[in-house]
A = this chain, B = another copy of it.
Amino acid sequence: MARPKNDNFLRALLRETTDYTPLWLMRQAGRYLPEYCETRKRAGSFLSLCKSPSLACEVTLQPLARYNLDAAILFSDILTVPDAMGLGLYFAEGEGPKFERPLREEWAIRDLTAPDPYDHLRYVMDAVVEIRRALGNSVPLIGFSGSPFTLACYMVEGGGSDDFRTVKTMLYSRPDLLHHILGVTADAVAAYLNAQIECGAQAVQIFDTWGGALSHAAYEEFSLAYMQRVIASLKKTHDGERIPCIVFTKGGGQWLEKIAASGCDAIGLDWTTDLGAARRRVNDQVALQGNFDPIALFASPEAVAKEATRILDCFGAGNTGHVFNLGHGINQHTPPENVSVLVETVHNYRRK
């Protein structure tokens, strides 16, 4: 199987020369797009949308129809994995994700097992196959998973949290229990990502949304170590092509050298990190992805273009090793027309 016609995204990740700086946007298929809201309404709920391969495929393609993006990303939710582990994911209206059976009791923790992705997460694999078929040979498809620690946060807290009090209390008082959860979850994540790769994902990203809430020492022990374990188990090639892996720890800017040594091909950065300084710190050993503040998309079109140019300047010379992205998921209230300005600015920058 050959690379897609537009393989700038894959080439940037593998630090091969690109025609221009490629970009995609975290949460690019989402509520800021009216067409997404319509499909979601049709699906009935967010979870039915995730669980229907054809609707997931439909929304995955929507941002690509509107914008000249350089990659598609599987539409799904990071919490499908703990759901498949039997925790009972549900979304209470206006409240975010919740689990019916949060992981609190020692016996439940000891009972935890990694699900077979082809069985309990079949709908995700079906979506990957359908999206690849629909994309044809245009742009690559990114598969993804939450990091073991980020998933454990939701599993132990039973939903979102401001302060992670329950999972951190476990971390400090019963590290053995948290290590057990993380070990099983890392195996689940590795199997899940490998199945996505087998079904056609051409790159994968690990979303470590909450690793940045940890102390420096705890980050290495409880988040990075398990991402490293996942990466070590990942298929490095499929159908003769390298499958690059991106690690994104929100708030992880202090730990770039350690993340770069995890075995990943690229590091996702939030907007608090200076992209040029990051590049020097990782010494061009890995590619960098980021790092436009998603809230800057609320500014005037001129300001959006100026801020995008600042970030591209910041990365510096060389037509490789940078995938432009936001520093976090796009906000649901973003004006869609400002996304066009962003895409144009980024694509025209190095072509000049």
* A interface residues with partner B (beta carbon < 8 Å): 163-165, 168-169, 172-173, 212-219, 251, 253-254, 271-274, 277, 291, 293, 295-296, 298-300, 303-304, 307, 310, 314, 327, 331, 333
A298 touches B165 (CB 8 A): yes
Residues of B within 8 A of A314 (CB): 217
Residue of B nearest to A275 (CB): B216
Measured between beta carbons, the chain B residues less than 8 angstroms from A169 are 295, 298-299
Dominant SS at the A interface?
A: helix
> What is the minimal beta-carbon distance from A294 to any residue of chain B, in angstroms?
8
- In the complex this chain forms, how many copies of it are found? 2
| A291→B314 CA distance, assembly (Å) | 31
With a CB–CB cut-off of 8 A, which chain B residues contact A218?
293
Q: Are A215 and B271 in contact (CB under 8 A)?
A: yes
* CB pair B310 A172 closer than 8 Å: no
State how many angstroms separate the Cβ of A143 from the closest Cβ of chain B: 28
Chain B residues, Cβ within 8 Å of A219:
272
Using Cβ atoms and an 8 Å threshold, which residues of chain B touch A300? 172-173
User: Are A165 and B331 closer than 8 Å at their CB atoms?
Assistant: yes
Across the interface, A163 reaches (CB within 8 A) one of B163, B304, B331, namely B331
Known contacts: A168-B298, A303-B173. The answer to whether A293 contacts B215 by CB under 8 A is: yes
Given A299-B172, A303-B172: A251 in contact with B274 (beta carbons within 8 A): no
How many Å lie between the Cα of A333 and that of B163 in the bound state?
11
Residues of B within 8 A of A277 (CB): 216
A164 close to B295 (CB less than 8 A): yes
Q: Within 8 Å CB of A213, what residues of B?
A: 272
| Docked CA distance A218–B272 (Å) | 9
Q: Using Cβ atoms and an 8 Å threshold, which residues of chain B touch A298? A: 165, 168-169, 172
* Cα–Cα, bound, A214→B253 (Å): 13
Q: Which residues of B contact A333 (CB under 8 A)?
A: 165
